[in-house]
Structure 1
Amino acid sequence: MFWSKDDIVERLSKIPRTLEDISIDIFEGVPPANDLVYKTDLSKEHCIDATSGCRNPQTNISVEQVSIEKELMYPYIDGSASGEFAIPSEQYRFMLPYEILGYNIRKEYRIIQPEELKTKFPIAYNQLMEAKQNSETGKQNLDSADCYRLEDESFLQYIKTPKIIVTSNYRLRASYDVKGKHVFSEGIGVVLGDPTLYHYITAVLNSSIARALPEIWNRENMQSKNQLNSRMLKRFPIEFPKKQITETLISTICRYLIYLNRQKQTARDYSIPGYQKLIDFYRRIADLLILDTYITNDLDPKFLEILAENITASGEEFEYSDDINLLIGLQEIKKNILESASFRECRFNSEFTNILATLKNNGAW
Structure 2
Amino acid sequence: MFWSKDYIVERLSEIPRTLEDISIEVFEGVPPTNDFLQKAGLSSENCTDVSCVCRDSHTNVSIEQASIEKELMYPYVDDSVLNEFAVQSTQYQFMVPYKILDNNIRKEYRIFQPEELKAEFPVAYKQLLEIKQQSETEEDEFVSTDYRFENESFLRYINTPKIIITSNSRLQASYDPTGKHVFANGVGVVLGDPTLYLYVTAVLNSSIARAFPEVWSRKGVQSRSKLNSQMLKRFPVAFPKKDGIENIISTISRYLIYLNRQKQMAKAYAIPGYQELIDFYKRISDLLIVDTYITNDLDPKLLDVLAENITASDGGFEYSDDINLLIGLQEIKKNILSAPDFGKCRFSNEFTNILATLKNNAVW
Q: TM-score range by the shorter chain?
A: over 0.9
> Offset at 1:62?
1.2
Q: 2-side partners of 1:103 and 1:48: how far apart?
A: 23
Alignment of 1:168-247 (within 5 A): 168-247=167-246
Cα contact 1:133–1:139 (8 A) shared by 2: no
The residue aligned with 2:289 is 290
Distance in 2, Cα, partners of 1:197 & 1:256 = 16
Per-residue CA shift, 1:152-210, capped at 9, x if unaligned?
00000100100000001010000000000001111100000000000000000000111
Q: Secondary structure at the match of 1:67?
A: strand
Stretch moving more, 270-279 or 327-336: 270-279
Deviation, structure 1 residue 45 = 12
Q: For residue 12 of structure 1, what is the amino acid of its counterpart?
A: L
The answer to whether 1:39 aligns with 2:38 is yes
Q: Deviations over 1:111-143 (max 9, x none)?
A: 00111111111110000000000012165541x
After the TM superposition, which of the residue ranges 106-115 and 348-357 deviates more from structure 2?
A: 348-357
In structure 2, distance between residues paired with 1:85 and 1:225: 25
CA distance in 1, matches of 2:109, 2:82: 26
Distance, in Å, in 1 between the alignment partners of 2:153 and 2:255 is 33
- Could you say which residue in structure 1 is the equivalent of 2:303? 304
Structure 2 distance, partners of 1:5, 1:59, is 48
Structure 1: state its 5+ residue gaps.
none
Deviation at 1:32, TM superposition (A): 2.3
Take 1:17 and 1:42, find their aligned partners in 2: how far apart are those partners?
44
Alpha-carbon contact 1:213-1:236 (below 8 Å) kept: yes
SS at match of 2:340: coil
Q: How many Å separate the matches in 2 of 1:56 and 1:244?
A: 53
- Do structure 1's residue 30 and structure 2's residue 34 form an aligned pair? no
Question: Does residue 263 of structure 1 match 2:262?
Answer: yes
How far off is 1:353 after superposition? 2.3
Which amino acid letter does the alignment assign opposite residue 112 of structure 1? F
Partners of 2:65 and 2:127 within 8 A in 1 = no
Going from structure 1 to structure 2, the CA distance change for 1:43 and 1:357 (only over 3 Å counts) comes to: farther
- 1:277-311 deviation digits (Å, cap 9, x = unpaired): 11000000000000000000000111111101100
Q: CA deviation at 1:271?
A: 2.7
Residue matched to 1:86? 86
Secondary structure of the 1:24 match is strand
Aligned residue number for residue 55 of structure 1:
55
1:149 counterpart = 2:148: yes
* SS of alignment partner, residue 103 of structure 2: coil
Q: Provide the C-alpha distance between the structure 1 equivalents of 2:126 and 2:37, rounded to a whole number of angstroms.
A: 13
Is residue 132–residue 140 contact of structure 1 (8 Å, CA) maintained in 2?
A: no
Equivalent position amino acid for 1:254 in 2: S
Structure 1 SS opposite 2:173: strand
Give the aligned partner of residue 6 of structure 1: 6
Q: Partner residue of 1:103?
A: 103
Moved more, 17-26 or 346-355: 346-355
- 1:352 deviates by 2.6
User: 1:221: how far off?
Assistant: 2.7
Counterparts in 2 of 1:43 and 1:234: CA distance versus 1, 3 Å: farther
Q: Match for 1:31: what amino acid?
A: P
- Partners of 2:164 and 2:74 lie apart in 1 by 15
Q: Which moved more, 1:2-11 or 1:82-91?
A: 82-91
Seq. identity, %: 69
- Alignment of 1:358 with 2:353, yes or no, is no
2:55–2:63 CA contact under 8 A, matched in 1: yes
Q: Once structures 1 and 2 are overlaid, which stretch shifts more, 103-112 or 36-45?
A: 36-45
8 Å Cα contact 1:56/1:135 also seen in 2: no
In 2, the alpha carbon distance for the partners of 1:239 and 1:45 equals 49
Answer yes or no: is the 8 Å Cα contact 1:31–1:151 preserved in 2: no
Would the aligned equivalents of 2:27 and 2:229 in 1 still touch at CA under 8 Å? yes
Preserved contact between residue 167 and residue 173 of structure 1 (Cα < 8 Å): yes
Residue 120 (structure 2) aligns with: 120
> For residues 327 and 312 of structure 1, what CA distance do their matches in structure 2 show?
14
Change (3 A) 1:260 1:97: same
The Cα of 1:33 is off from its aligned counterpart by 4.2
Deviations 1:301-331 (A, max 9, x none): 1111110110001341110000011000000
Structure 1 residue 64 displacement after superposition: 1.4
Provide the secondary structure at the position in 1 that maps to 2:85. coil
CA RMSD, Structure 1 to Structure 2 (Å)? 1.8
Alpha-carbon distance in structure 1 between the residues aligned to 2:161 and 2:16: 26
Counterpart in 2 of 1:129?
Answer: 129
* TM-score normalised to structure 2 length: 0.96
User: CA separation in 1, counterparts of 2:200 and 2:344?
Assistant: 31
Give TM-score, length-normalised by structure 1.
Answer: 0.96
**Where does residue 341 of structure 2 map in the other structure?**
342
Give the direction of change, closer, same or farther, for the CA distance of 1:259–1:44 in structure 2 (3 Å limit): farther
Query: Is residue 85–residue 258 contact of structure 1 (8 Å, CA) maintained in 2?
Result: yes
Whether the 8 Å contact between 2:162 and 2:190 is mirrored in structure 1 is yes
